Amino acid sequence: MTTSTTDPLIGRLIDGRYQVRSRIARGGMATVYLATDLRLERRVAVKVMHGHLADDSQFKQRFIQEARSAARLAHPNVVNVFDQGQDEDSAYLVMEYLPGITLRDLLQEHGALTSEQTIDIAESVLAGLAAAHKAGIVHRDLKPENVLLADDGRIKIGDFGLARAASANTATGAALLGTIAYLSPELVTRGIADARSDIYAVGIMMYEMLTGEQPYKGEQPMQIAYQHANDSVPPPSNANARVPAELDELVLWATARDPEERPRDARVMLEQLRETETLLHTALPTAATAVQKTMVLPSARQNTAETQVLGARGAVATTQETAPVSPNAGRLRAKGDSRRRRGWLVFVLVLVLAIAAGGTGWWFGPGPGGHVTIPESIKGLSPEAATAELRALDLEVADSTEVFSVDVAQGLVADTDPPLGSSIRKGTPVVLQVSKGPKPTSIGPLAGQTLSAAEDAVDAANLVRDDDVEYVFSDQPEDVVLSAAVGETDISQGSTALLEGQKVDLVVSAGALPDIAGLSIEDATAKLTAAGLQVDPSEQRNYNDDVPKDAVIGIVDRGAVHPDDTVILDVSDGPQPIPVPDIVGRTWYEAKKMLTEAGLGFEYWNLKSQLLGDGAPSDAVVEAIDPDAGAELHKGDKVRVRLS
């Protein structure tokens, strides 16, 4: 393995701003370095993507999009993302530097954690996840390696969005084995992830914290994946009898194989975790009291004929003889004694640390060197109001800068540097980043592209796709974009006058309508139903010279037809009847013209009429016709004419 002393990036200046000092860690996707931000004079962590990933254009584009999403997520339990860019052949991400260890390091050093430690860590992880899920962001690769335990006690989640960016690449070996241990069944079987997939990963991590081991084991990733998809996670108490039943239930809820049976997001699970924590804290004294009251009873090993136990209050009343102490009571007493001893040890340890810290603790605690958190509540305030709030926290406000923002109106505070939610020392200057509105953007022609290509173009322009795509039957192939619009503006052929964050509505071809001309009503209905249309039982009938009577002409034209629309069949009544015009008494010239215009032919009554008609004398007159005037014929039928 390459050492830090031979790493070519050590000492390099990235993008003219970040001076690389040393290497922190190396993973399957990237290497993390400690660097100095020369512009703001602060230490940062720079994650540099491996070369084979940086060369993948699809990965780079997805990485940029996901990094932007992660950068908008500001929460005390989420590692802040400061910057992202490309320096020569290296794609990089600049994040908050947190000296400390990962949850994986803690588990490798200590094995199983206590219930209290597990709850504390899970509470911080769920708090960060709750903010992400509220913002519509799913982590997708939650595992102990991505949970950071800072030296100052903060717990944060890292690598938001990177799992999705890496979805187009294949991990192998130990990297895959480490990730797949926390993948939900739906991710293993269908590749689908949502907030409940993150909840499953939290449940697996809680199991590992409570027992010191993962629920599923195997030498190959596929063995573990198969267990995730087909087995149910066992209660942690099976491996560690000290795990309370309440935590068993919480872990089993979070790791249910069916996503519908899990908490719907991190906020729901966080609320239940806090209720469980309160329940465990209030249950312990009650249990201890009940044990003590039971233990003072005499004749502990005598049998009894009459015993009354008032368990609800922990009180025990006996008559004549008493019952033996139950095994549960003994276990509760032992657990209570263990917790009290542990409490004294913790108290002594805290006291020693407090004395050793001395003046340092005062300086970095309540003293002038104490830390404060930049409040997220100043987002959306005017610069004057935000300045007042920051100064009230003993923070200095430096000159403001302007930034583009999709979700904050022009002239209001969009963020700060250091970012909102950061914990910084009192007196640190804070730069207000004032919104100048969404950034101008442009997009090329969308009409004629496939839906997938159009969506990629919309994402690349930092526009918002309307998930409710309108499908219309057309003469274009299926999934080809017919038109695109932003509000009332047509951008089918592209536009250079757009703003980031605007919503794009796409109209997409559902393919051609089925050809039903000439079919029976039953066959036409079956064909349209198979194409996803509803057929109104009422029908519209029209005369048609080309389609036989009772056969289908088509559907009644009512504009664009969408899948699931209800259509009405246009049914033929056959050729339209033509009334014979009244030509008796008219000259043959006039009569012949009237028959022709009506779509009827003629034939002569006898040879005399034929001679008169073919000679076409100006005074030849129609003397009689067959059939009579008003009779109904069809187009092309002939009328017999007698001339005089």
Give residue 118's identity as a one-letter amino acid code: T
In angstroms, the CA 21 to CA 27 distance is 18
Taking each helix axis from N to C end, the angle separating 173-180 and 221-230, rounded to the nearest 10 degrees, works out to 20
Confirm if 203 and 182 have CB atoms less than 8 A apart.
no
Confirm if 215 and 228 have CB atoms less than 8 A apart.
no
Give residue 71's identity as a one-letter amino acid code: A
Rounded-to-10 torsion of CA 158, 160, 165, 167: 80
Closest CA to 521 of 536, 532, 509: 536
Q: What DSSP designation does 575 have?
A: S
CA 397 to chain CA mean position, Å:
37
Cis peptide before 259 (omega within 30 of 0): no
The CA-atom distances, in angstroms, between 575 and each of 182, 474, 634 are: 71, 29, 7
- 76 CB-contact burial (10 Å; exposed 0-12 / middle 13-18 / buried 19+): middle
Strand-pair category, 503-509 with 464-465? parallel
The CA-atom distances, in angstroms, between 115 and each of 30, 124, 211, 236, 352 are: 34, 14, 10, 11, 24
Which helix (H) or strand (E) segment holds residue 235: the answer is none
In angstroms, the CA 122 to CA 109 distance is 18
Beta bridge partners of 92: 48, 85
In angstroms, the CA 292 to CA 67 distance is 57
Whether 141 is catalytic: yes
537 phi-psi bin (left φ>0, alpha ψ -120 to 50, beta other): alpha
Confirm if 157 and 80 have CB atoms less than 8 A apart.
no
**Secondary structure of the chain: what % helix, strand, coil (to 5)?**
35, 25, 40
> For 479-490, what is the HEC assignment?
CEEEEEEECCEE
Give residue 89's identity as a one-letter amino acid code: D
Q: What DSSP designation does 240 have?
A: -
Strand-pair category, 622-626 with 566-572? unpaired
In angstroms, the CA 551 to CA 547 distance is 6
In angstroms, the CA 112 to CA 184 distance is 22
In angstroms, the CA 557 to CA 111 distance is 72
In angstroms, the CA 374 to CA 386 distance is 10
Q: In what order do the strands lie in the sheet with 100-102?
A: 100-102, 147-150, 155-157
Closest CA to 120 of 155, 147, 144: 155
In angstroms, the CA 554 to CA 514 distance is 9
- End-to-end Cα distance, the chain: 117
List the catalytic residue out of 83, 87, 105, 141: 141
**Helix/strand number for the chain, H first, E second:** 18, 31
Which residues are catalytically annotated?
A: 141
